[in-house]
Amino acid sequence: MAPAIAQAAAPSGPNAPSLTMSLSAGQSEPEKVSVALELMFLFTVLAVAPSIVLTMTSYTRIIIVFHFLRQAMGTPQMPPAQIMASLALFMSIIIMGPVIKSVNEEALQPYMEEKIGFKEALDRAQVPIRAYLFKHTREKDLSIFYSISKEDRPLNKEQVSTIMLVAAYTISELKTGFSIGFLIYIPFLILDMVVASILLSMGMMMLPPATVALPFKILLFILVDGWSLLIGSLVNSFV
């Protein structure tokens, strides 16, 4: 019975389809392998794109300053974090505009037009990015990572590893952001001290000074046109 069922289920006739699988490694073309590797690299870059934005652009400094501003004013929930993050992202795109334009003209467009190869396009793209990173990176922060990794100190900028440069740039941006945040805190702290002294002299010790000082902080920030002043100063700090 079983052989009869197998014969009935098996396709017969000259037009019966057939499936042939070949695992020969010698038939793969180097060009196809190269394209596959480029696609894998592209997907990897897209996966780590948020980290690249945070560590290789002006986003880090801007978002730190915005956080200090909210804490200094006593409004940790206002403006909302989504608005702050969106504003920091758009500011980063504007600040990084010359670098993005240079990468597009010197590396991306020639590669898309097949005038240069993938490796050459990658090397060309690193030139404006590394120039920007070097401009805003302190030598002390860079030497820290070379001390940690026990690698030989570079003799010039061309010998500096891009990974080391990105790490040092992030540390430099953290220090700069904290320095700007300290300067933002000073006028609001003085206002808190003045309000606390007035309340203490009036014997109103049960009334929280932060609650009373909050509207005056907001009024002070509006009178000095704080947003324009802050954003303008942040943008100029990258020039």
Residue type, 64: I
125 touches 107 (CB < 8 A): yes
Mean pLDDT of 61-68: 88
On average, the pLDDT of the chain sits at 76
How large a percentage of the chain has pLDDT more than 90?
A: 0
How many CA atoms are closer than 13 Å to the CA of 50, on its beta-carbon side? 2
Alpha carbons 225 and 194: distance in angstroms, whole number:
22
Mean pLDDT of 11-21: 48
Helices (H), 113-161: 118-135, 139-149
pLDDT band (50, 70, 90) for residue 25: very low
Mean pLDDT of 113-135: 81
Domain housing 92: 34-184
Residue 80 has pLDDT above 50, yes or no: yes
Residue 25 lies in a domain: no
pLDDT at 38: 66
Residue 179 lies in a domain: yes
Flag whether the pTM goes above 0.85: no
Residue 207 lies in a domain: no
Helical pair 59-73 and 226-236, crossing angle rounded to 10 deg? 150
Residue 19 lies in a domain: no
Residue 144 lies in a domain: yes
pLDDT at 33: 55
Query: Phi first, then psi: what are they for 93, rounded to 5°?
Result: -65, -40
Mean pLDDT of 217-236: 83
CA dihedral 98→99→101→107, nearest 10 degrees, is 150
Token pair, residue 156, equals 């010039």
Residue 3 has pLDDT above 80, yes or no: no
Residue 229 lies in a domain: no
158 three-class SS? helix
pLDDT at 2: 43
Alpha carbons 123 and 28: distance in angstroms, whole number:
28
Mean pLDDT of 163-189: 86
Alpha carbons 191 and 220: distance in angstroms, whole number:
9
pLDDT band (50, 70, 90) for residue 21: very low
CB atoms < 10 A from the CB of 187, how many? 14
Residue 12 has pLDDT above 60, yes or no: no
Residue 23 lies in a domain: no
CB atoms < 10 A from the CB of 226, how many? 16
Residue 56 lies in a domain: yes
pLDDT band (50, 70, 90) for residue 32: low
Mean pLDDT of 12-36: 50
Q: How many domains does the chain have?
A: 1
Alpha carbons 152 and 110: distance in angstroms, whole number:
35
Helices (H), the chain: 2-9, 30-47, 49-56, 59-73, 81-95, 97-103, 109-112, 118-135, 139-149, 162-201, 209-223, 226-236
Residue type, 180: I
Question: pLDDT (tens digit, 9 = 90+) per residue, 200-217?
Answer: 777 766 767 677 778 888
Residue 134 has pLDDT above 60, yes or no: yes
CB atoms < 10 A from the CB of 208, how many? 13
Categorise residue 220: left if φ over 0, alpha if ψ from -120 to 50, beta otherwise: alpha
